Amino acid sequence: MSIEYKLVSRQNHVQDSIIRIGENIFGGENFVIIAGPCAVESEAQINETAEFLSTAGIRMMRGGAFKPRTSPYSFQGLGLKGLQLLAGAGERYGLSIVTEAMDIVAIEQVAEYADMIQIGSRNMQNFPLLKAAGKINRPVLLKRGLSATIDELLLAAEYIFDAGNEQVILCERGVRGFNDHTRNMLDISAIPILQKLSHLPVIADPSHASGRSDLVVPLSRAAVAIGAHGLMIEVHPNPQAALSDSAQSLDFSEFQNLIKEIEPFLPTSGSSHD
Amino acid sequence: MSIEYKLVSRQNHVQDSIIRIGENIFGGENFVIIAGPCAVESEAQINETAEFLSTAGIRMMRGGAFKPRTSPYSFQGLGLKGLQLLAGAGERYGLSIVTEAMDIVAIEQVAEYADMIQIGSRNMQNFPLLKAAGKINRPVLLKRGLSATIDELLLAAEYIFDAGNEQVILCERGVRGFNDHTRNMLDISAIPILQKLSHLPVIADPSHASGRSDLVVPLSRAAVAIGAHGLMIEVHPNPQAALSDSAQSLDFSEFQNLIKEIEPFLPTSGSSHD
Amino acid sequence: MSIEYKLVSRQNHVQDSIIRIGENIFGGENFVIIAGPCAVESEAQINETAEFLSTAGIRMMRGGAFKPRTSPYSFQGLGLKGLQLLAGAGERYGLSIVTEAMDIVAIEQVAEYADMIQIGSRNMQNFPLLKAAGKINRPVLLKRGLSATIDELLLAAEYIFDAGNEQVILCERGVRGFNDHTRNMLDISAIPILQKLSHLPVIADPSHASGRSDLVVPLSRAAVAIGAHGLMIEVHPNPQAALSDSAQSLDFSEFQNLIKEIEPFLPTSGSSHD
Amino acid sequence: MSIEYKLVSRQNHVQDSIIRIGENIFGGENFVIIAGPCAVESEAQINETAEFLSTAGIRMMRGGAFKPRTSPYSFQGLGLKGLQLLAGAGERYGLSIVTEAMDIVAIEQVAEYADMIQIGSRNMQNFPLLKAAGKINRPVLLKRGLSATIDELLLAAEYIFDAGNEQVILCERGVRGFNDHTRNMLDISAIPILQKLSHLPVIADPSHASGRSDLVVPLSRAAVAIGAHGLMIEVHPNPQAALSDSAQSLDFSEFQNLIKEIEPFLPTSGSSHD
C-alpha cells in the first residue's frame, strides 16, 4: 500500500515520545491513570470525584462536557457549564483535565479549559477535527475507532502531526466484535503493535472496552502487564445513579481495589517491558 | 433497550417519505441513479462527466470537493473551487448535485452550491454535524458507518430529524467484513430491513461496497431486485487516471452497460416490491 | 500467499461445471430451487411437504436427519429413520434428496439414501469429512463457514476435488456480522466473486442468512438477480410448530409467493448474466 | 434464549474444576505451560524439543500428528508415526502429551498415545467429535472457534460433559478480527468471562492468536496477569525451517526468555486473582 505514516513512525523517532501534562508523564517507563466520570453531571458530583481521586494519588481527571450519544434523546452533557465545573474541580484538587471536543468550533473552547483534548472513537476519522487538533496548543488523546485498523489509527495521528501538533497519545478502547458478553472487544495486542510501529504513548480504556465494571480490574491488569503506558478508568461516586455508562463505572471502593490489584504489574515493580 | 427512534420510524409515518430534488424523486415506487466521479479534479473532467450523464438520462451528479482520506498525504479535494465547478456543470447540463460536507462550518458553504448534502460513513456519528445538517434547508444523504448497526444508522437519522430536517435519504455502502476479495461487504439485507423499520428512502452504493468496478453491475442488479430506491455509482471519464477510487470507478461505456443490465429489474419492469 | 486452489479454479476449467441430479441441472444458465424443512420430524410432515413441493414444480428436497445443534439439549434429528423417511418421500413424489452428513462414518449411510450430500457451515473445515466426501459417489453441497473467507471456501472445495470428487456445489449462507436484526449477514458479493474465481455452481441460502421468513423473498430476489445458480429455502407445513428454525421457515403459501416473486429475475426472463 | 449450559456452569459447580495430567495441575491457583512444535516433523526434532522443554521445567508437550490445514497441498502431519514419536519423546523426557484428533475414528487412536486430546478451533462445533470426546477416558483441550461466541464455546463443552467426560479445559486462541497486523485477535476478556460463567480451567494460546513470535511474550504476560490457568506456546528448535506456523514459533532461547518474562505475573508471585 502506498499510504504510509511517517511522522508518527518509530522509524522517524526511535525513542519513545514523552508527553508531560501537569504532574503526569506519558511514555517511556512511566505509567499514568486517568480517572473520572463518563459525564460531568453536577458541581457536587465532580468535586466529590476530584477530591477522592486526589487522595487516591491520581493526577489527571476525565469527564465529558460534550457527550457523543447514539440517541438524540440521551443526556448530551452540560456543555460550557460542564467545562467550567471540570476546570474548577481540577484546579481545586490539583488534577489535570482531559475532556472531549466533538467539532472544530468547540475545540477552541475546550482548549481553554482542558489540559488535554480527547478525540473520541466516533471521530477518529473526522479529518477536519484532526486538522483542528493539530493547530491547538494542547496534547491530544486519540481514541481508536470502533472498527479502525491499526494503520488507520496511526494515519489519524499522522493528520494531527502533519497539522503541527506532536503531542498525541493513542488509546485502545475495544473494537466491534461478536462477543456476546461485553460491549466491545479489547484488542489487547494492538498495544504492543502500536508501540512497535510508533513512538507515541499508548493507553488502554478497559471501561469502554468491556462495558462491565466487574471486568475493569482484570482487563487493567492485562493492559498493565502488556506494557500500556496508562489506563483511563470510569469512576463515579454512585454508578447506579450515573446519567451515562452506569454499568461500566467503578465506585470509589472498587477504584481503590483496582489500584491495589494492578500494583504488582507496574513497570516499577520489576518486570522489564521490552 | 430504551434507546429508540421515533421520527424516522415507520410506526410514526406509515407511508414512504417522498423526497424530490430537481427532476429526481426518491421513495415509493421511484428509482434514481446518482452518478459521478469520486472527486472533482478539473473543469474538463467534471464537465465531460456531466455531459455524458445528461445524455445517459441521469439527473443527479455526485462529486467530492472536500474528501475524507485515510492519509493526510492523499488528495484532499479542490474545496470551494470544486464546489463551484460542480455547481456550474450541474447547471449547464441540468443535473442536481450531491456532495459531501465534513464539518459544521463547511456545511453552510456546501449548502450554497449543492442540492443535497452527503454525510459520509466516517461521520455517521459525528453528532454536531448531524445537528447542523438538521438546520440546513437541503435534503441529506446519510451513509451508513463502516461498522454501524442498523439501529445506530436510524438514530443518526433521528438526530437530523430532531434538529428540524425531515429530508433524509439513507445509503447502504458496505460494512467492514473479513472478505478477502472486496473493500467492504455489502449488507444487502439492510435495505429491506431499513425499509421495514423506517419510512425513509434507502439507496445502495455498490462502488464503495465492493471497491471493484467489475462487481458494480452484479451488485447493482441485486440492489435493484431487493427494492432499493436508488443507486450511487462512481463514474469517471478515465478511471485509470482518477486521483481517488480508480479501482472502483466505471468508465462511460461500463456505465451505459450498467443501465442496460439493471433495466429488467427496475420497479416499472413489472415486479411487485412488497 | 503460496496457498492456492487449482482444480476448482476457473483457470483450470474455463466453462461452468454442470452438475445433474435427477431432473435438476446446476451451473451455466440453469436455475434450481431446493426446498424443504430444516429437519425431518415425522412421516406425515415430510410427505406433506414433498407432495406440496412436487406440485409447485420443485425437483429437489432438503431435510435434516442428522442435525448440528448448538446445544446438546436441542432436537438432534431422527437419524437413520429420518434418512429413510426422506428417501421414501423423495421417491414417492419424484424429488431428489439432499441432506447433511456430519462425520466420516455417517457419510456412507447418508450416501445410500441421498442424491446429494450437504457439508454444513460448521464442518466447512472438517478436513477428514471433506476427504471422505471426495471418495463418495455423490455430488456435494458445500456451505460456507460462518467466518470463512472466499479463499478458504475454495480450498475446502479443493480438498473434495483432490480426493477424487469433482461434483461440488458451493453455497453462500451468510456470515457472522454485527447486524442487529438478522441471524447472519448474507455476503451477496461472494456469489459473483466465487463464479469469477471458480467454475463451480454457486447457490444462496437466504433462510439461514437472515433467520427471518419475511426477508427470504427479498434476499431471494437479490440472489437471483446477481446470478446465483439456485436457492435453498426452508419450507415447513406449519412453521410455528417446527422443531428447529421456525422463525426462518416459509409456509406453503409464502413459498408459492416466493416462486412468483423471483420469476421476473430468472435467467430465462431475459436478463443477461455476465 | 432458551439454549443454556448446565453441567459446565459455575452455578452447577461453584469451585474451580481441577484437572491433573501427570505432574500438571489445571485450575484453581495453578498455572501450566504447554509447549512444543506445531507439528511433529521428525524423531530428531521432537526429541530435541522434548529434551529442551524438560530441562526448562515444562511437563506437558504439544505437537500435531494430524494437522488441519487450509489447503490440501500443505503438510498434513505424520499421522500414526507422529503419534508414536510424540509418545516416545514424552516418555523419555517425562512430559505429558497433548495432540489433536480430527475425527471420530482417529480419536480412539490418538487416545492410546496422548494424555490429553485437543479439539481444534475448526472442530469446535463438530458435534459428532464432541460426543466421541465425551466417551474417551482422556481430558479434552477444547479450543474456541474462529468466530464462536462465548456461549457457543460453553455449549460445545456441554456436549462433552453431557456425553460423559467432565475433564475439559478451554482455550482462547484468538478470533477473526480486522486487525491488519496479526493472524487473529486475542479476545483477552473471554478469559475472565469464561471463568465467571464456568468452573472449567481456561488457558490462552498467544501463538495462534497473534501469528507472530514477537508478540508471544507480551500476550503471554497479559494472559497471565488476567488470570489464565495456563498457556500453550509453539516452540521449535529452528522456527525458520518449520513445516508449519514458522512465523509464530519461538526458538529455545526466546522460550526461556518467555518463562523469565511471565514469572513476575504468576499467581504464586503474590497478586491476588479474583
**D103 and C106: CB-CB below 8 Å?**
no
Q: What is the pLDDT of residue D268?
A: 64
Scored b (16 or more CB within 10 A) or e, C130-157 reads: bbbbbebebbbbbbbbbbbbbbbbbbbb
pLDDT at site C268: 64
CB–CB contact A104 B103 (8 Å): yes
Judge if ipTM > 0.85. yes
Please answer whether residues D204 and D232 qualify as being in contact, where contact means their C-beta atoms are separated by less than 8 angstroms. yes
Buried-exposed string B233-272: b where 16+ CB fall within 10 A, e elsewhere = bbbbbebeebbbbeebbbbbebbeebbebbebbeeeeebe
In degrees and rounded to multiples of 5, residue A61 shows phi and psi of: -115, 140
CB contact under 8 A, D225 and A221: yes
Interstrand relation of B202-204 and D24-26 (parallel, antiparallel or unpaired):
unpaired
Q: Are D72 and D34 in contact (CB under 8 A)?
A: no
d(CA C233, CA C247): 13
Q: Is the pLDDT of residue A273 over 80?
A: no
> What is the reported pTM?
0.96
Rounded Cα–Cα distance for residues D98 and B231 (Å): 55
C181 contacts B150? CB cut-off 8 A? yes
Cβ contact A133:A104 at 8 Å: no
Mean per-residue pLDDT for B129-150?
Answer: 97
| pLDDT tens, residue by residue, B173-203 | 999 987 689 999 999 999 999 999 999 999 9
Q: Which residues contact C91 (CB under 8 A, 6 or more apart)?
A: none
The chains found to touch D (3+ Cβ pairs under 8 angstroms) are A, B, C
Mean pLDDT value across residues B234-243 = 95
CA-wise closest residue to C271 among B260, B219, B223, B216: B260
Q: Are C147 and C172 in contact (CB under 8 A)?
A: no
The contact set of B with C (CB < 8 A) is: 147, 149-151, 175, 177-182, 185-193, 196-197, 209-210, 214-215, 217-219, 221-227, 261, 264-265, 269-272, 274
Who among D3, D122, D128 is closest to C102 (CB)?
Answer: D128
CB contact under 8 A, C274 and B217: yes
CB B76 within 8 A of CB B244: no
In this complex, how many residue pairs, one in chain B and one in chain C, have their CB atoms less than 8 Å apart? 128
Q: How confident is the model at residue B3 (pLDDT cuts 50, 70, 90)?
A: low
Q: Which residues of A touch C178 (CB under 8 A)?
A: 176, 178
User: B61-82 pLDDT, tens per residue?
Assistant: 999 999 999 999 999 999 999 9
CA distance C179 to chain A (A): 10
State which H helix or E strand residue B168 sits in: strand B168-172
Instruction: Report in angstroms the alpha-carbon separations of B119 from A19, A176, B8, B101, B104.
Output: 35, 22, 17, 6, 11
Low-confidence ranges of chain C (pLDDT < 70): 1-3, 268-274
| Residues in B touching C272 (Cβ below 8 Å) | 261
User: C265, B186: Cβ pair inside 8 Å?
Assistant: no
Residues 6+ apart with CB under 8 A from C244: C38, C39, C64, C67, C69, C74, C75
- The residue type of C42 is S
Residue B167 has pLDDT above 70, yes or no: yes
d(CA A184, CA A192): 19
pLDDT(B271) > 80? no
Is C221 within 8 Å of B226 when comparing Cβ atoms?
A: yes
Length of chain A: 274
Please tell me the distance in Å from C222's CA to the nearest CA on chain A.
26
Q: Which residues of A touch C70 (CB under 8 A)?
A: none
Q: Do A103 and B104 touch (CB under 8 A)?
A: yes
Chains in contact with chain A (at least 3 beta-carbon pairs closer than 8 A)? B, C, D
Confidence grade of residue A61 (pLDDT, cut at 50, 70, 90): very high
> Is A182 a residue whose pLDDT tops 80?
yes
SS3 labels along chain C = CCCCCCCCECCCCCCCCCEEECCEEECCCCCEEEEECCECCCHHHHHHHHHHHHHCCCCEEECECCCCCCCCCCCCCCCHHHHHHHHHHHHHHCCEEEEECCCCCHHHHHHHHCCEEEECHHHCCCHHHHHHHCCCCCCEEEECCCCCCHHHHHHHHHHHHHCCCCCEEEEECCECCCCCCCCCECECCHHHHHHHHECCCEEECHHHHHCCHHHHHHHHHHHHHHCCCEEEEEECCCHHHCCCCHHHCECHHHHHHHHHHHHHHCHHHCCCCC
The nearest alpha carbon in chain A to D182 belongs to A189
Q: Which of B149, B226, B260 to mutate: most C Cβ within 10 Å?
A: B226
Share of chain B above pLDDT 90, in %: 92
Residue C232, min C-alpha distance to chain D (Å): 22
Residue A48 to chain C, least CA–CA distance (Å): 39
Q: If you average pLDDT over residues A97-116, what whole number do you get?
A: 97
Look at residue A38 and tell me whether its pLDDT is greater than 90.
yes
Cα nearest neighbour of A178 on chain C: C178
Each of the 274 residues of chain D gets a pLDDT tens digit; together they read 446 899 999 999 999 999 999 999 999 999 999 999 999 999 999 999 999 999 999 999 999 999 999 999 999 999 999 999 999 999 999 999 999 999 999 999 999 999 999 999 999 999 999 999 999 999 999 999 999 999 999 999 999 999 999 999 999 999 998 768 999 999 999 999 999 999 999 999 999 999 999 999 999 999 999 999 999 999 999 999 999 888 999 999 999 999 999 998 897 644 443 3
**Mutate which of D2, D69, D102, D126 to disrupt the C interface (most C C-beta within 10 Å)?**
D126
Instruction: Flag if B162 and A72 touch (Cβ within 8 Å).
Output: yes
Res C178: pLDDT: 77
Tally the residues of chain C: 274
CB contact under 8 A, B71 and A147: no
Q: Which residues are within 8 A (CB) of C250 and not within 5 positions of it... i.e. 6 or more apart? A: C207, C213, C216, C233, C234, C235, C236, C239, C258
Indicate yes or no: CB of B225 within 8 angstroms of CB of C227.
Answer: no
